[in-house]
Amino acid sequence: MLLNFRIGSFILKVGLVIAILLSIGSVINPKGEISQSRIDSIGMGTSTHLRVGIDDLGKAFEQMEEMNIHWIREEFPWSEIEQNPGEYVFNYGIGESYRDFDSMLALAKRHGLEVVAVLSSGPVFLYHNYPDQSVDADELISYWGEFVQAVVDRYGDQIDYWEIGSEPNNPLEWGKVMFPTVSDAVSSPSPFLYARMLTTAEKIIKKHNSHDKVILGGLYNSSNSDCQTNPIAFMADLVNAGAWNDFDIIAIHPFWQNNPPEVWMQRGPSTELSTGECKPDNPIQTNLVGEIRNVNEFAKKHGGKPIWITELGWKEGWLSTIGDQNGFGSDQIESNFLVRSIIPLITEEQVDKVFWYTFFEDPSNPGFSLNTQGQIALKNLGRLLGNARPLGQFQEYSGIGSPDELGLFEYRFRKEGRTIIYAWAANGGEIPYPITLKNLSGKSYRAYPIDTLDLSVENGMELKVEDDKSITIYVNEIPALLIEEKSNLISSIKYRIEDGMTRWFSNQKENVNTWVDQQKKKLIDKAMNWAEESFLNLLNKVVDKISGD
């Protein structure tokens, strides 16, 4: 039988079974188009519930579901939920909108959205007098623990991911904690007080469910950062405060201001990556991916942690400035940058999630809402790359450090046995530049713009693979999307086995036999045509033969 494994060939057979399960539905009658599925590594923030209120939330979540979004970040603002000590209100009106956290979570579940709860802001009932007297630190921690306990008691069975604060190294955001009734307050970040908040929250969350994940409040950085706000220096202080083991995931907010994501820009003082020591007289320049790699290098010195980009985006004003230089409209630039930032980030080894900021306008930080072209580009990313395997970056040409230099980029993924390619120029506006894609599988590809409304085979431009397994195309700052046309049966099985084994080794941790048994039962229970049933029987015989070796 299919599950009659011998220990000696266990890994080989499990890999084959996984490949069978992944392949059976489409190898027999492979479709011409890549199937639609949600991508687990892309999310949307921030706080759609707070932006639109409960009345319009169902429609908003439906839109996200249609865009193949799986993750959302939703704030639970302390300043609103507990306005009097010990009185926790989880449904209330603010202005013209009404907020209902019970209904928000129910709607999220209905639309298949995983919620990251962001526990934000501060206690409005504690005495403070801006700018001279902030809330008392010890009182803050005492009431903070009670607030976290109240939220976890009510929603702990519905929420598995908890982000503790937002940008605690940002004076504007820390001001909302220390002076919670003053909308424009600024306050010098205190990593040691934040460490106490982090440790307090972690104990409560893990006591409720030890499998829940605690996320470091997204750390911000900018060209104006100093040693107080530098994210690596801030994390080093958390290490010194003994709080490094009190969170599971690092969250970063790497806004790239009025620059393309590939361009190097000054990001404040440099840090010694082994210790986090800040060097105020030694400024650092890097690009978007480089900044995340620096964070990862520091984290690896302390055992390593997954990295989530919980906010990323470009403000309308930034886009307009760039548009004046390259001739594109701001809508097209946002669509370009969305793809050119998310694609490289999700191929980084430690980056698990990227959340775009934001779907709806944030009144406190306007100009970031995602335009229609960007929504289409994001939807296409989700459709094409859900369950896809990143193959990595295949080439980058010339310099990427200066706006005057040209960079050509190519990233590949594989899904359903087919290669998916994104390629673009980092500069030059609409000027086309040749790029040769080498060592290609398959015989032909279909090319599309990233924000096409139609990913059908008929709508794509056919490109034939040359005898040397290459295609030469012209690209500009609008990324080109190439999808390999459907493979033959042998090629499809080959790549699916390879991809299935890779995913198994990366993700499968326990109880493989039970999982495989469940999947086989699902296959057997569903109606199969004669060809599918015959093919399954053939594969059973093959694996039975291996089991007997």
Q: Could you give the CA distance from residue 357 to residue 314 in angstroms, rounded to a whole number?
A: 8
Q: What angle do CA 368, 374, 375 make, to 5 degrees?
A: 100
Backbone region of residue 526 per phi and psi (left: phi > 0; alpha: psi in -120 to 50; beta: other values) = beta
Look at residue 509 and tell me whether its pLDDT is greater than 50: no
Look at residue 290 and tell me whether its pLDDT is greater than 90: yes
CATH topology for 42-386?
TIM Barrel (3.20.20)
pTM, to two decimals: 0.84
Tens digit of pLDDT for each residue in 41-80?
Answer: 999 987 899 989 999 999 999 999 999 999 999 999 999 9
User: Taking the CB of residue 402, how many other CB atoms lie within 10 A of it?
Assistant: 12
Half-sphere exposure of 7 (CA within 13 A, CB side): 0
Q: Which CATH number applies to 390-489?
A: 2.60.40.1180
Q: Could you give the CA distance from residue 134 to residue 127 in angstroms, rounded to a whole number?
A: 8
Tens digit of pLDDT for each residue in 192-245?
Answer: 999 999 999 999 999 999 999 999 999 999 999 999 999 999 999 999 999 999
Q: What is the spatial order of strands in the sheet that 418-425 belongs to?
A: 389-397, 408-415, 418-425, 480-484, 444-449, 461-464
Q: Could you give the CA distance from residue 340 to residue 315 in angstroms, rounded to a whole number?
A: 16
What is the chain's percent helix, strand, coil content, to nearest 5? 40, 20, 40
So where are the chain's domains? 42-386, 390-489, 510-548
SS3 assignment for 225-274? CCCCCCHHHHHHHHHHCCCHHHCCEEEEECCCCCCCCCCCEEEEEEECCC
Q: 326 vs 450, which has greater pLDDT?
A: 450
- Copy the structure tokens of residue 370: 């995602």
Beta carbons of 136 and 82 less than 8 angstroms apart: no
pLDDT of residue 44: 94
11-15, Cβ contacts within 8 angstroms, sequence gap of 24 or more: 12/546, 13/543, 13/546, 13/547, 14/504, 14/508, 14/512, 14/516, 15/497, 15/500, 15/501, 15/504
Strands 389-397 and 461-464: unpaired
Helix (H, G, I), strand (E, B) or coil at 75: strand
Strands 433-437 and 418-425: unpaired
Q: Which amino acid is at 530?
A: W
